[in-house]
Structure 1
Amino acid sequence: MLDPNELTVHTLTLRQLGSAEQLAEINALPIADVEAALEKAVADGAVMAARGNFMITPAGREFLDDVYARAFAGLRADPAVTDAMDSFETGVNKQVLTLTTDWQTIEVDGARVSNDHADADYDAKIVEKLGRVHEKTQKVLQPLAQQNPLVDRFLDRIGAALIRAEGGETDYVSGVRVDSVHTVWFQMHEHILRLTGRERPE
């Protein structure tokens, strides 16, 4: 497990640039703990402040490399976690990437064009498929969630985005300005890669 200071710096690798409030939304720490951690990280040179937002520095990334090796040694050696990551990368992750492409584009006369979301039935089918993949992902990542509760938090946030998408808020599928399925999935993927010491597949 990571302590609040380590977790706050780690969260900046998932969001790249963010305020204390935005980081707390991701890592579930009390805002006061995040603010204190950011103050310390800035003083240590691990984080840079920029007009109310924060970003990690190269020194912060080196700090985390040492932290990960210590904090997640047991998780990385667990065969169940290795199997779960293999299943994630070859299965549900590819399915979400494909469904995101299908959401953003639609085939017209044999060519892929931008989806204007005029076809509500088409959109509803994509959201339904994403819901099924989400349910499967909860099972696939269970070995990681048992050792790292933040994995379940990401899955809950994806579920919340799906509920809003089902209600007609289409930005919650792949929008970049909200906690959409695609945005939170990307954060979750980066998180579990860092837990397990893997590289993001090309």
Structure 2
Amino acid sequence: MLDPYQLTVHTLTLRQLASAEQLAEVNGQSLPEVEENLEKAAAEGAVRAAKGNHMITPAGRQLLADVYPQAFADLRSSSAVSEAMEAFESGVNKQVLTLTTDWQTKEVGRDRVPNDHDDADYDAAVVAKLGRVVDKTAKVLRPIADADPLVDRFLERIDTALTRAEGGETDYVSGVRVDSVHTVWFQMHEHLLRLTGRERPE
């Protein structure tokens, strides 16, 4: 697996522009550890810092490209992990994408129009379906989560967002300014692709 320094740099591929605090929230490292790793990464040219935020550089991406094959060799050679990833891509990931579209739009007559969220029953039905898919996802990804605990952290963050959405905070379904279900799901998907050496489906 990745060492702590590599993990900090890797996290900037999941959240493109982020503060140390935001990176620690994603990867579970302590804030002092993240800050130390970012300082080292900036000195080595792997990360660029500006006004309290950080982004990965081409050198940082090359660093990760060099370490991924060895760091994730056992995971990538596992048939259980491969089967779990196939089930994720062909099943729950497509379902979440469809439900996100259903949340953002709805059918009126024969047209699909932006959802103005004035139909509480419609929104509640979408959130309920999303909850069932999230529950299923935890089972689908169990072989990968057993090999990489960060996957469980993503699932916990998705559960937190879902709970807030169920409580009426609608931004937590697909809002881009908060750690919504959709935002964290996108981060988790990118992490899974990097673990397994796959490309994001078109």
Alpha-carbon shift at residue 2 of structure 1 (Å): 1.4
Alpha-carbon shift at residue 186 of structure 1 (Å): 0.0
Length, aligned pairs only: 202
Q: Give, in whole Å, the separation in 2 of the partners of 1:14 and 1:80.
A: 24
Q: Give, in whole Å, the separation in 1 of the partners of 2:135 and 2:96.
A: 12
Match of 1:134 in 2: 134
Match of 1:150 in 2: 150
Give the alignment of 1:91-102 within 5 angstroms: 91-102=91-102
Match of 1:44 in 2: 44
Secondary structure of the residue aligned to 2:25 is helix
Give the alignment of 1:3-82 within 5 angstroms: 3-82=3-82
Alpha-carbon shift at residue 95 of structure 1 (Å): 0.1
Superposition CA RMSD, Å: 0.5
Q: Give, in whole Å, the separation in 2 of the partners of 1:44 and 1:70.
A: 21
Q: Give, in whole Å, the separation in 1 of the partners of 2:130 and 2:159.
A: 10
TM-score by length of 1: 0.99
Q: Name the aligned partner's letter for residue 7 of structure 1.
A: L
Secondary structure of the residue aligned to 2:18 is coil
Secondary structure of the residue aligned to 1:83 is helix
Match of 1:111 in 2: 111
Alpha-carbon shift at residue 4 of structure 1 (Å): 1.3
Secondary structure of the residue aligned to 2:106 is strand
Q: Name the aligned partner's letter for residue 59 of structure 1.
A: A
Q: Give, in whole Å, the separation in 2 of the partners of 1:136 and 1:49.
A: 39
Q: Give, in whole Å, the separation in 2 of the partners of 1:197 and 1:92.
A: 19
Question: Identity of counterpart residues, as a percentage?
Answer: 74
Alpha-carbon shift at residue 104 of structure 1 (Å): 0.1
Secondary structure of the residue aligned to 1:13 is coil
Q: Give, in whole Å, the separation in 2 of the partners of 1:4 and 1:163.
A: 30
Alpha-carbon shift at residue 50 of structure 1 (Å): 1.3
Which of structure 1's runs of 4+ aligned residues deviate more than 6 A?
none
Gaps of 5+ in 2: none
Alpha-carbon shift at residue 110 of structure 1 (Å): 1.0
Q: Give, in whole Å, the separation in 2 of the partners of 1:40 and 1:169.
A: 38
TM-score by length of 2: 0.99
Q: Give, in whole Å, the separation in 1 of the partners of 2:135 and 2:158.
A: 10
Q: Give, in whole Å, the separation in 2 of the partners of 1:30 and 1:153.
A: 14
Q: Name the aligned partner's letter for residue 116 of structure 2.
A: D
Match of 1:85 in 2: 85
Gaps of 5+ in 1: none
